[in-house]
Structure 1
Amino acid sequence: MISIIICSRSAEMLSSAAQSIEATIGLPYQIIDIDNSKGTYSIFQAYNLGISKSQFNVLCFMHEDVGFITNGWGEKVVNAFQNNPKLGLLGVAGSSYKSLLPSGWSFSTATDKTLYMNVVQHYKADGSSIHDYSNPRNESLSKVAAVDGVWFCTTREVVNQIKFDDTVFNGFHCYDVDFSLSVLQKYDVAVTYEVLLNHFSEGSFNDGWLSDTIKLHNKWKNVLPVNLNNLSADAIALEETKAFYAILPKLAGKRQLCLDALKVIWKSNVIARVGIKMFTRMNLLLLKKSLE
């Protein structure tokens, strides 16, 4: 009943993920392994290829560094879509506010009221782990603007209309936010608290991520920001400012990326959100970072 699509680079990690799925899913499934050990595909291409090979009406896209804690999670996913006809995308982490300024689905300093998470995150550096849990509305299913790509599920109806954008993007970043925003134009996007999993590695924020994030914001400039929590104007200004300061250190010494970020700022009309003083400061700081 669920087609599980994995873009794989490690046979060992894929085998571990497959064993975890077998032990916990609780209903019929297929695993579609897109072998990307040689870097043949972007993740957008890999996931679209997985869609073409899928058999079932519910499709799950997941990293191979995942292990499931919840038993019977497959039925919970199927029931979520059956019980919520407008639901088009389901994840385990997401945000109800997607900023106008460049960021991922969220950022570390975002306000707790916009963060929706239920993941056990592991850290390779020191071997520690933490249960990242945030449920501002105390719900079992919460609507969000975008979900994290570690694990998310959708339906045949959705993928018959919406694919992963392998024209604009050709790397391994922003597929989750871009797909979320595409789905959000017609359906609800949500985080479930009925599925808990282990994520055994952290994400990376390299130059590829920066470049693709800027592409993402250029693509969706007429849709962003997405504000599902009805944040006040002051709260929006604060979130946009925090998004800016979250990405700023990553741009140090990267002249072209700083200039590209400046173009996003000018195209986004963020001045109306943060005011002329902060807008001017953003411009000056980006110019300064480009020279470091």
Structure 2
Amino acid sequence: MRNASNVVTCGMISIVICSVNPAHLEEVRANIHATIGVPYEVLAYDNRNTGKGICEVYNQGAQESRFPIICFMHEDVQMRTPDWGKTVLGIFDAQPQAGIVGVAGGGYKSLAPSGWNCEQFQSDEKSFQHILQGYKYDNRPELYVNHNPRNEPLSEVVCVDGVWLCTRKELAIAKPFDQQLLKGFHGYDIDFCLSHFGSHKIYVTYDILMVHYSEGNFNKEWLDTILKLHQKWSQSLPLSICSLSEREIYFTEKRSIKELIEQMMDWEYSFWDIHRMLLVFRRSRKVSAKLFFKAYLHLLELSWQGSKSPSFKELRP
């Protein structure tokens, strides 16, 4: 089903959805129709039995879309802002360098493998968010998250959350989602943003509000994907939109990598899995060798303490 005429204009939006729940899809279709406020089309792909990852689906949607602005969005959301499509188009019209717009993003992308938000970055600029967060896995009420540390209508970030991600079609075609590396449903948003960071601006808007009915599932499968992603981007990281001293970067990465090592041990990654991760970490041109050796020492100390664990049996003589 398409909801726009065949004329391509700048005042129209293509919406691409990778669907696994027909009921959710119908709800979000109706919600989009009631709230978007501009001509649009919905390209929804039933991905329940295809074996395709979200990158492949999104790339297909970008190729088949007809309009200059594309909104990639999850189906478990509800838009709460009337005429939000006008806001999206207004941002791209007013900001020629705008390449990606979201509603949640991070101001620092760590070298240590992580999501878009580096919790160990001790600054108010670590996150910029304007969203109602629902909880699928926990029995908790919706949480209104409004973090705007600079008190501005639009904040520049390094990465945005893929729950709702708008971009120019030309960018999605020129540098598409990496469907060769990312076969599942994690990491696509970070990778897409890193592909365009530096050549175009990436923004979080506070003028659009939606509720996301799932908090996500950050499990071992997610981390496996993030490790692949960081292998690809390690030489470019860390990245930040704010001015940081070498000391701030050093201690942020030190905290991040130590906590990651501990998490990987908890999730029963082998010593050699963590060893390979640290070798990738060492590729960065922006972090000193000293930090790598401190991280490796932390791994050795922890593995020695837990040498009786089955995950580390290959260390024993």
TM-score normalized with structure 2 length: 0.85
Identify the residue that residue 52 of structure 2 maps to in structure 1. Answer: 41
Structure 2: distance between partners of 1:229 and 1:151: 24
Are the structure 2 counterparts of residues 273 and 226 from structure 1 closer, same or farther at C-alpha, using a change threshold of 3 Å?
farther
Q: Aligned partners of 2:292 and 2:263: how far apart in 1?
A: 24
**Cα distance in structure 2, aligned partners of 1:205 and 1:276:** 25
1:122 maps to 2:134 = yes
Counterparts of 1:82-97 in structure 2 under 5 Å?
82-97=93-108
* 1:272 partner letter: S
Deviations 1:130-150 (A, max 9, x none): 111211111111111111111
In structure 1, the residue matched to 2:82 is: 71
Asked if residue 254 in structure 1 is aligned to residue 269 in structure 2, the reply is yes
Q: Does 1:265 align with 2:276?
A: no
One-letter code aligned to 2:125: K
**Counterpart mapping for 1:137-156 below 5 A:** 137-156=150-169
Mean Cα displacement is larger for which, 236-245 or 5-14? 236-245
**Does the alignment pair 1:243 with 2:256?**
yes
SS at structure 2 position matched to 1:117 = strand
> Superposition pairs for residues 94-109 of structure 1, below 5 Å?
94-109=105-120
Give the whole-Å Cα distance in 1 for the aligned partners of 2:71 and 2:287.
39
Greater mean alpha carbon deviation, residues 90-99 or residues 119-128: 119-128
Task: Look up the equivalent residue of 1:234 and give its one-letter code.
Answer: R
- CA distance in 2 between counterparts of 1:55 and 1:131 reads 34
Residue by residue over 1:33-90, the C-alpha shift from the partner in whole angstroms, topping out at 9 and shown as x without a partner, is 1111114210110100111211111100011111011111100000000000001000
2:243 equivalent in structure 1: 230
> 1:174 is matched by which residue type in structure 2?
G
Q: What amino acid is the match of 2:98?
A: L
Following superposition, the deviation at residue 173 of structure 1 comes to 0.8
Within 2, Cα distance between the matches of 1:99 and 1:213? 12
2:38 aligned to which of 12, 27, 44: 27
| 1:11-54 Cα distance to aligned partner (Å, 9 max, x none) | 01111111111111111111111111114210110100111211
Name the residue aligned to 1:169: 182
Q: Which residue of 2 aligns with 1:291?
A: 312
Which stretch of the first structure deviates more once superposed, 91-100 or 237-246?
A: 237-246
My pick for the range that moved more, 193-202 or 102-111, is: 102-111
**2:155–2:205 CA contact under 8 A, matched in 1:** yes
Rounded to whole Å, the distance in 1 between the matches of 2:111 and 2:159 is 13
**Percent identity, aligned pairs only?**
37
Match of 1:160 in 2: 173
CA distance, structure 2, for counterparts of residue 138 and residue 273 of structure 1: 37
Kindly name which structure, 1 or 2, has the bigger radius of gyration based on alpha carbons.
2
1:70-114 deviations in Å (ceiling 9; x for gaps): 111100000000000001000111111110110011144443222
Task: In structure 1, list runs of 5 or more residues that go unmatched.
Answer: none
Q: 1:148 to 1:276 in 2, by over 3 A?
A: closer
Task: Rate the CA distance shift 1:275–1:41 in 2: closer, same or farther, 3 A.
Answer: closer
Shift of 1:279: 2.9
With 254-263 and 95-104 compared, the bigger mean Cα shift is at 254-263
Kept after mapping to 1: 8 A contact 2:119/2:126: no
Q: Distance in 1 between matches of 2:301 and 2:209?
A: 40
Task: Please state whether the residue corresponding to 1:126 is helix, strand or coil.
Answer: coil
Aligned length: 292
Distance 2:152 2:300 in 1: 42
Question: Given that residues 28 and 78 in structure 2 are in contact (C-alpha distance below 8 angstroms), is that contact kept between their aligned partners in structure 1?
Answer: yes
Residues 123-165 of structure 1: per-residue CA shift (max 9 Å, x gap): 1321312111211111111111111111010012212311011
1:128 partner SS: coil
Asked whether the equivalents of residues 157 and 202 of structure 2 are also in contact (C-alpha less than 8 Å), the reply is: yes
Whole-Å separation in 1 of the counterparts to 2:190 and 2:301? 26
3-state secondary structure, aligned to 1:160: helix
